[in-house]
C-alpha cells in the first residue's frame, strides 16, 4: 500500500490557491516547532463569504497538500462554515494521511482560524475567544 493517497500526491504536485494575496481581509500564520512546518493563509472576505484564498507553506508534502485541500474546502464558503472545518475533514478529503503526518492537517485548520480571527480583529467584529483555541491539540506530533 502506498504511503500517500493519489489525492495527497495530486495536491502536493499541483497545489491549488498557492501564492501571496495583495490586500487580504485576514491573514493567519501558524507553525509547528517540532517538524518545522509553517503555513500562512490569506483570505479575501466579502459579506462574510470567503471570495478568495491563497496560501504559502514551508514544509513537507503533507503540509502542502493539507494547505491546498483546506483552501479548496473553504473557497466560496461563509465564514461560519470555514470555522467549522476540522483537520479530520481535511484528512478525509485527502483520502487519509499517515498518523505521523496528521499534524499537517491540524496546522491547516489552525491557519484558517487564525486568518478569520485576524479579519475579526481588524474589523472590530466581536467573537467568542473559545472559537480560536491556541495551539495544536493532537496527541501524536509532540507539539504541545
Given the residues 104, 138, 141, 143, the one annotated as active site: 104
CA pair distance 40, 35, nearest whole angstrom = 16
Nearest residue to 52 (alpha-carbon basis) of 138, 130, 115: 115
Given the residues 35, 60, 138, 143, the one annotated as active site: 35
CA pair distance 114, 109, nearest whole angstrom = 9
60 a catalytic residue:
no
Please calculate the CA angle 126-20-88 and round it to the nearest 5 degrees. Answer: 60
35 a catalytic residue:
yes
Nearest residue to 99 (alpha-carbon basis) of 56, 142, 64: 142
User: Within 10 Å of residue 9's Cβ, how many Cβ atoms?
Assistant: 16
**Catalytic site residues?**
35, 104
Amino acid at each position: 500500500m502506498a504511503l500517500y493517497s493519489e489525492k495527497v500526491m495530486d495536491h502536493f504536485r499541483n497545489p491549488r490557491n498557492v501564492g501571496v494575496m495583495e490586500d487580504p481581509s485576514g491573514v493567519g500564520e501558524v507553525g509547528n516547532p517540532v517538524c518545522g512546518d509553517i503555513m500562512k493563509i490569506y483570505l479575501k472576505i466579502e459579506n462574510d463569504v470567503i471570495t478568495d484564498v491563497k496560501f504559502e507553506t514551508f514544509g513537507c508534502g503533507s503540509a502542502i497538500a493539507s494547505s491546498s485541500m483546506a483552501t479548496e474546502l473553504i473557497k466560496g464558503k461563509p465564514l461560519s462554515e470555514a470555522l467549522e472545518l476540522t483537520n479530520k475533514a481535511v484528512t478525509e478529503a485527502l483520502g487519509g494521511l499517515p498518523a505521523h503526518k496528521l499534524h499537517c492537517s491540524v496546522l491547516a485548520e489552525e491557519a484558517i482560524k487564525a486568518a478569520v480571527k485576524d479579519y475579526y480583529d481588524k474589523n472590530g467584529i466581536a467573537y467568542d475567544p473559545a472559537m480560536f483555541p491556541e495551539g495544536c491539540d493532537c496527541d501524536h506530533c509532540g507539539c504541545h
